[in-house]
Amino acid sequence: MLKKWWHNTVGYQIYPKSFQDTNQDGIGDLCGVIRRLDEIAQLGANVIWLCPVFTSPMVDNGYDISDYMGIDPSFGTMDDMKELIARADEKGIKILMDLVVNHSSDRHEWFQKALQDPCGEYGKYYVFREGKDGNPPNNWRSIFGGSAWERVEGRDNLYYLHIFTKEQPDLNWENPKLRGEIYEIITKWMDMGLGGFRLDAISHLKKNYSYVNLPPDGPDGYKLAFEYINNVDGLSEILREMKERTFLPTDALTIGEYDQMRPEEVEAVIGENGNFCSVFDFSHTFHDVNGEKWKGNTRALFNDYRDKLFQAQRVVGGRGMLCNFLENHDKPRCIDRFLAAADQNRYSIRMLPVTNFFFPGIVFLYQGQEIGMRNYPKVRLEEYVDKPTYAIYDRLLMQGKSPEEALEELNHASREHGRTPMQWNGEKNGGFSEAEPWFAVNPNYTWLNYEAQKEDPDSLLNFYKRMVAVRRRADLEETFIYGEFLPRYEKEDGILAYERKDEKNRVLVLTSARSETAELPFEGKVGEILLDNYAVGEKDGTGTAEETYGELTGSGNRLIVKPFQCLVLKLG
């Protein structure tokens, strides 16, 4: 594998609206990101993924862009953006912007012109079709619920496609002129010094426009026709053109939101000459210990989580780099998602991030993950603010759930849990803003906050810092980036373990979801304990193997693993 500048990425995702407010309007802003660059650098991150800050009516919190070359006033100005890029670069941090080009906002100038003349130049930038028998062109369901087609006002039988909300009309990527406009926008941003882009919903650019009704998959009569709107034949050609026209000449880091990557596609998607540098590993994104499948059984979930992660690595097989993560803006908080309430303790919440942090590929943390921010269940539906949340609630009612049951499910699974404001200190609104925040701060900010953990050597925050430092240690970094990936103890209940190995190092990463001590067969010698969630504070990674080896091994070549322990061991 040819070495690239981005191969050592330890990324930090920021949801700007909830990160840090500096102008006291209750909304986070770019100046807030600038203010907190030192904290991000101290964590050890070298790439920031910035969720959308483009001009937007905010129907989908910025994922509905009305001007690709503008900064939304709620976040600041273009000068603020340029300053952020420059100040981050001084600290060795590259900025990735979140690019949304499957669709635009319905307020975008292109779409407004398209509505005036759907058969004209800008009408061809979108997907307009005639309805059938007084109905939409077909019975596709939007990902956010309801028909994927919206009737054009004033035209009885004309509809436009939107696979997300009706305010997010899909762009027509069959149109070379539209593609050229997007490529020009990308190039202009790269010229400003960006490190690259995270590409939202990028596997949806190509559609299979077969206008036949499909067997409904719900009582609403619609069908979520994923096979017609995701990873459709011909997508790779579009992505290849985009790469060659924009990303390749600028040496950009590109991370695609590209689910359902088939084994035969790996090299074309993330290989040496693939369309992206990396894509997110979605293998764990449907895991929720509170869901019907797991019913609070942490260990059963953990076994399946392990098997899915290992399978994803086997599919890639060293041909490219996945992006490994536990949290993002579209998911509940990982502690509440992976660990049943009875299993949440100081050891388990440190064990969890270690599970995939040393995998091949690049890694991303999400704001607040490093201090262990939690879900914030609501008493009333009206306390949620995200439009898709209400669509999910309606769908749950349609499926026969009571209002109480539907709210309970949202309280476990809503993506809005990842969007509560960052908890910086124990002061008003967690130090996020002096004004009323756009979304309520979790009341636990009084004790769960960055400032409270900063000076505590035994805090979760400082454990994350040590974990990042191990991955980026000069004598180990290349092993973690390019070394072999060798699963270990695959059949051991509640154990997720693997080796990273090259000609210089052998490192065993072992995590346990067991609530009792485990004794595992072990051959060899521990050269150095790099990380141990049972060590206190500064003892992590500093003790010699001789000092603590007796705690790790018993007689008969065994490894003694304590409840919810994680160990990163350099083997002799």
- The DSSP annotation for 211-248 comes to ------SSTTS-B--HHHHSS-TTHHHHHHHHIIIIIH
Note the pLDDT of residue 385: 95
Of 103, 109, 99, 196, give the one whose Cα is nearest residue 144.
Answer: 103
Of 528, 537, 531, 527, give the one whose Cα is nearest residue 511.
Answer: 531
Rounded Cα–Cα distance for residues 225 and 282 (Å):
19
Q: What is the mean pLDDT of residues 54-64?
A: 96
Measured in whole angstroms, the distance separating CA 236 from the mean position of its chain's CA atoms is: 22
- Is there a contact between 94 and 48 (Cβ–Cβ < 8 Å)? yes
- Is there a contact between 366 and 13 (Cβ–Cβ < 8 Å)? yes
Rounded Cα–Cα distance for residues 486 and 431 (Å):
44
Q: What is the mean pLDDT of residues 261-290?
A: 95
Q: What is the mean pLDDT of residues 46-58?
A: 98
- Is there a contact between 435 and 24 (Cβ–Cβ < 8 Å)? yes
The pLDDT tens digits of the residues spanning 358-400 come to 999 999 999 999 999 999 999 999 999 998 899 899 989 988 9
Note the pLDDT of residue 557: 83
- pLDDT exceeds cutoff 60 at 440: yes
Q: Is 130 exposed, middle or buried (0-12, 13-18, 19+ CB in 10 A)?
A: exposed
Rounded Cα–Cα distance for residues 120 and 172 (Å):
13
DSSP summary character for residue 542: T
Query: What is the 3-class SS of 440-503, one letter each residue?
Result: CCCHHHHCCCHHHHHCCCCCHHHHHHHHHHHHCCCCCHHHHHHCEEEEECCCCCCEEEEEEECC
pTM over 0.75: yes
Note the pLDDT of residue 437: 98
- pLDDT exceeds cutoff 70 at 555: no
Nearest-10 Cα torsion for 555, 559, 560, 564: 180
Q: What single-letter amino acid sits at 392? A: I
The pLDDT tens digits of the residues spanning 130-152 come to 999 889 999 999 998 899 999 99
Query: What is the 3-class SS of 105-153, one letter each residue?
Result: CCCCHHHHHHHHCCCCCHHHHECEEECECCECCCCEECCCCCECEEECC
- Residue 403 in tokens: 């209002």
Note the pLDDT of residue 145: 87
Q: Is 517 exposed, middle or buried (0-12, 13-18, 19+ CB in 10 A)?
A: exposed
Q: What is the mean pLDDT of residues 237-258?
A: 97
List phi, psi (to 5°) of 56.
-160, 145
Q: How confident is the model at residue 565 (pLDDT cuts 50, 70, 90)?
A: very high
Residue with tokens 């990028």: 202
How many residues can be counted in the chain? 572
Note the pLDDT of residue 99: 97
Q: What is the mean pLDDT of residues 45-65?
A: 97
3 state DSSP class of 555: coil
Q: How many CB atoms lie within 10 A of CB 550?
A: 10
Note the pLDDT of residue 548: 42
Percent residues over pLDDT 90 in the chain = 91
- Is there a contact between 270 and 278 (Cβ–Cβ < 8 Å)? yes
Least reliable range by pLDDT among 32-41, 63-72, 216-225, 503-512: 216-225
Rounded Cα–Cα distance for residues 198 and 265 (Å):
20
Is 39 part of the annotated catalytic residue set? Answer: no
Strands 10-14 and 47-50, by their bridges, are: parallel
The pLDDT tens digits of the residues spanning 457-468 come to 999 999 999 999
Note the pLDDT of residue 536: 61
Domains and CATH numbers, the chain: 383-417 (no CATH), 482-571 (2.60.40.1180)
What's the mean per-residue pLDDT of the chain? 94
The pLDDT tens digits of the residues spanning 183-207 come to 999 999 999 999 999 999 999 999 9
Is 83 part of the annotated catalytic residue set? Answer: no
The pLDDT tens digits of the residues spanning 389-433 come to 998 999 899 889 999 999 999 999 999 999 999 999 999 999 999
- Residue 402 in tokens: 């009571």
List phi, psi (to 5°) of 493.
-60, 125
- Is there a contact between 443 and 383 (Cβ–Cβ < 8 Å)? no
Q: How confident is the model at residue 545 (pLDDT cuts 50, 70, 90)?
A: very low
Cβ neighbours of residue 341 closer than 8 Å, sequence gap 6 or more: 296
Q: Under the phi-then-psi rule, with left for phi > 0, alpha for psi from -120 to 50, and beta for the rest, what region is 509?
A: beta
Percent residues over pLDDT 70 in the chain = 96
Note the pLDDT of residue 96: 98
For residue 14, what is the enclosing H or E element? strand 10-14
Catalytic residue (choose from 21, 64, 170, 200): 200
- pLDDT exceeds cutoff 60 at 540: no
- Is there a contact between 141 and 391 (Cβ–Cβ < 8 Å)? no
Rounded Cα–Cα distance for residues 546 and 242 (Å):
54
Rounded Cα–Cα distance for residues 542 and 545 (Å):
9
- Is there a contact between 63 and 7 (Cβ–Cβ < 8 Å)? no
Q: Between 526 and 551, where is the model more confident?
A: 526
- Residue 491 in tokens: 């059949």
Q: What is the mean pLDDT of residues 536-559?
A: 50
- pLDDT exceeds cutoff 50 at 547: no
Q: How confident is the model at residue 556 (pLDDT cuts 50, 70, 90)?
A: low
Note the pLDDT of residue 63: 97
- Residue 311 in tokens: 């399978």
Catalytic residue (choose from 29, 72, 167, 257): 257
Q: What is the mean pLDDT of residues 474-500?
A: 98
Note the pLDDT of residue 550: 42
* Helix/strand number for the chain, H first, E second: 18, 21
- pLDDT exceeds cutoff 90 at 260: no
Q: How confident is the model at residue 507 (pLDDT cuts 50, 70, 90)?
A: very high
- pLDDT exceeds cutoff 60 at 553: no
Note the pLDDT of residue 280: 94
Partners of 485 in beta bridges: 500
Q: What single-letter amino acid sits at 547? A: E
